[in-house]
Amino acid sequence: MATQLIDQFAKNLAPDTKAAVYDGSKKGHEKRTQLLFDTYADPNRLREIAGEIKQHVIENLDTYLPAVEAKLQANGVKVHWAATGDDACAAVRDIMQARGLRKIVKAKTMVSEEIELEHYLNKHGIETLETDLGEFIVQIDHDHPSHIVKPIIHKNRREIAQSFEREGLGAYNDDPATITARARQFLRHKYLAADVALTGANFVSVESGRLVIVTNEGNSRFCLAATKCHIALVGIEKLVPNDRDLGLLLNLLGRSATAQQLTVYTEFVSGPKSATQPDGPEEMHVIFVDNGRTDVLASDCRDILRCIRCGACLNVCPVYRQASGHAYRSVYPGPVGAVLSPLLAGKKFPEFADLPKASSLCGACHEVCPVNIPIPDLLLRLREKGKREGAPLAAAGTPPMGAWAVLASQPAAWKVALFGGKILNFLPTNLIPVPALRAWEAKRTLPEWRGGEFRAWFKNRPKP
Amino acid sequence: MSTSREQIMGRVQAALAPLPQRAARPDWDRDLVILRQAHGLTDPWPLFAERLKAVNGTPLTSVTELVALLGKNNWKHGYCDPALWPQLSGAFPSGFTVETTYDRTRVDDYAFGLTAAAGAIAETGTLILTDNGTSSRLGALAPWVHIAVLHRNQIHHDIPSAVAALPADPNIIWVTGPSKTADVEGILIEGVHGPGRQVALLVD
């Protein structure tokens, strides 16, 4: 019986990393709970409404997508569509090559990770630089983010100081304030030398065409102050019907992600800079990306498209806390990743078919989700899909049930087996040469086999 | 050639067609999301100042206080919105160098940037900046200290009111305290890419 990949990963995780991830996620969860319940009498009501808003959006994308396109165009934004990740990468390249632009500064976008944009652009002679401190460290280390909002939760300050020294950002110093100051000094000159600001969007209001981009560090602001061209990569599920609903969702996003009332910078961007403004993009492009989302929409797991990428489900998940984000082998870790990654993988579903099993179904992720996604239900649906499609990874860590299935589907065979099972009462079961059984028997005693008694009672019971 | 747009729209329609009914848009009461303290305010400034301090921002009520703060920290070179400078310059003694054009080639020279706020939100201690109301995006962002000049009648009580009043402007920024990160071991550090010190200056 093979163990699950995620169990193997958790077992091999360095103790330092495990401690960092465990402490970081636990602290994040506790602060979130405290803030939400201090502020609101009934925070759960907010989560329910937010979930209904997002569910409404994804079930009406056929009207909202053309509507937001028209609004954005009216605001002076060029709208592009990308059915696949490759299409999205090509769209960024085309915009840049047509204008002779070569240098990108990136504020965090999960979609760019998903479509492996950096790799693609570098191959085509375009430089990309991550500007979020955590993402910047991930980039210089050729690593991968391990958390949706805390990308380097798995690293400690000593490792970061070594990376900075290696990259020529100053002599070894592991004081977080010094690390941050050095990044500030290095990156501000990079912003000013760049051609293009690449961002994602947390929400897009259909009513106004405003993209909402939130950061704590101010890197999206700097990207949008220093460069002349803004390209935003936006998943098609990011829409919100109107500005008013943003008032609710923004309250939940900051609290759920980092236990803040509001993230430090909430930017509402609806087009190129105004005529009187000396700084900022003269051109703005929005690329709407599908890359598997319409398949999710067609599935019985479409609720996951409500996700606003806050990371609260990671922080609370007992499996994430032990295994860390890299164990999920994909861009989206934790409970949301266990649902989203196999779905977005499309034909590669079998490669991620074990992820829905990386859960004890305790339900904590559902309880904290700001858009109330029933993650445990979706995990069960995906487990079933894995079984139905016979994905070998879906079976990892499961005892073989083939013989039981044959018996359970044939009443005659079942009856014989129930009766025949009595033979177990006379067998020296503690001598059976199966290590797992012997280990089990060493601590426990098998109850007496009483197969068939219920059937006999049922058949002979007094009938009304 | 079927474009990406047609493919996506086609797939969305095909995915949604089998749904017996679509989820309705919920209506919600704005009071649900409003902080208790923000109900029934007469003067929003005290709550705004309290909330701004809670996120390590600095509320000030006079230009004299501002000049003292800048002088004490030796923040002597700055940028100021040319429209604001005439009314503020009188309070700045000699020794200060204030430019009214932001030169992006000398980004390290400016210790402070003074620009106009377009509003504020009391319940969160948030300053609102707009593109039309800000003389330089970089001048309000790159210096270590940012001072937003605010009038009392510009302060919204709560987030729903501020959302309802979002102006037609291509780039509106809600600023809630100084720039910060906790990426390194969860330790809070201020002043990552934006200001390490965020000041709101009330002028009435």
Q: Which tens digits make up the pLDDT trace of B82-95?
A: 999 999 999 999 99
**Which member of B8, B15, B32 has the closest CB to residue A83?**
B8
Q: Mind listing the pLDDT tens digit for each residue in A299-310?
A: 999 999 999 999
A118/A262 same-domain check: yes
Q: Which residue has the tokens 């059976």?
A: A432
Q: Mind listing the pLDDT tens digit for each residue in A328-358?
A: 999 999 999 999 999 999 999 999 999 999 9
In chain A, the N- to C-terminal Cα span, in Å, equals: 49
CB-based contact (8 Å) between B194 and chain A? Answer: yes
Q: Identify the CATH number of the domain in which residue A272 sits.
A: 3.40.50.10420
**8 Å CB contact of B13 and A62:** yes
Q: Looking at the domain assignment, is residue B196 inside a domain?
A: yes
Q: Mind listing the pLDDT tens digit for each residue in A400-414?
A: 778 888 888 998 888
> Nearest-CA distance from A402 to chain B in Å?
35
Q: Looking at the domain assignment, is residue A1 inside a domain?
A: no
Residue B197, phi then psi, degrees to nearest 5: -135, 120
Q: Looking at the domain assignment, is residue A22 inside a domain?
A: no
Task: Answer yes or no: is pLDDT of A394 > 90.
Answer: no
Tell me what the mean pLDDT of segment A444-452 comes to.
82
ipTM of the complex: 0.97
**8 Å CB contact of A62 and B160:** no
**8 Å CB contact of B184 and A180:** yes
Q: What is residue A433's predicted lDDT score, i.e. its pLDDT? A: 79
A415/A287 same-domain check: no
Q: What is residue B22's predicted lDDT score, i.e. its pLDDT? A: 97
Q: What is residue A1's predicted lDDT score, i.e. its pLDDT? A: 46
DSSP characters over B73-87: TT--EEEE-TTTHHH
Q: Quick check: helix, strand or coil at residue A258?
A: helix
Mean pLDDT of chain A: 93
Q: How many CB atoms lie within 10 A of CB A55?
A: 22
Tell me what the mean pLDDT of segment A386-390 comes to.
91
Domain that holds residue B30: 26-202
Q: Looking at the domain assignment, is residue A373 inside a domain?
A: no
Q: Mind listing the pLDDT tens digit for each residue in A180-216?
A: 999 999 999 999 999 999 999 999 999 999 999 999 9
**Which member of A53, A265, A298 has the closest CB to residue B25?**
A53
Residue whose C-alpha is closest to residue A206's, from A231, A233, A249, A243: A243
Domain that holds residue A210: 42-291
**8 Å CB contact of A268 and B7:** no
Structural domains of chain B, count? 1
Report whether A237 contacts A64 (CB < 8 A): no
**Which member of A181, A216, A236 has the closest CB to residue B180?**
A216
Distances (CA, A) of B204 to A313, A318, B153, B201: 46, 53, 9, 10
Task: Answer yes or no: is pLDDT of A75 > 70.
Answer: yes
Task: Among A239, A264, A291, identify where a domain stops.
Answer: A291
Task: Among A256, A291, A326, identify where a domain stops.
Answer: A291
Q: What is residue A2's predicted lDDT score, i.e. its pLDDT? A: 60
Q: Identify the CATH number of the domain in which residue B187 sits.
A: 3.40.50.10420
Tell me what the mean pLDDT of segment A79-103 comes to.
97
Structural domains of chain A, count? 2
Q: What is residue A446's predicted lDDT score, i.e. its pLDDT? A: 79
Q: Looking at the domain assignment, is residue B3 inside a domain?
A: no
CB-based contact (8 Å) between B1 and chain A? Answer: no
Q: What is residue A411's predicted lDDT score, i.e. its pLDDT? A: 87
Q: Mind listing the pLDDT tens digit for each residue in A9-59?
A: 898 899 888 888 998 899 989 998 888 888 888 889 999 999 999 999 999
Residue whose C-alpha is closest to residue B116's, from B85, B77, B74: B85
Q: Looking at the domain assignment, is residue A36 inside a domain?
A: no
Dihedral sign, Cα of residue A11, residue A12, residue A18, residue A19: positive
pLDDT truncated to tens, each residue of chain B (204 aa)? 469 999 999 999 999 999 999 999 999 999 999 988 888 889 999 999 999 999 999 999 999 999 999 999 999 999 999 999 999 999 999 999 999 999 999 999 999 999 999 999 999 999 999 999 999 999 999 999 999 999 999 999 999 999 999 999 999 999 999 999 999 999 999 999 999 999 999 998
The better pLDDT of the pair A397, A161 is held by A161
The span from the CA of A81 to the CA of A64, in Å, is 14
Q: Looking at the domain assignment, is residue A271 inside a domain?
A: yes
How much of chain A, in percent, has pLDDT values that exceed 90?
A: 74
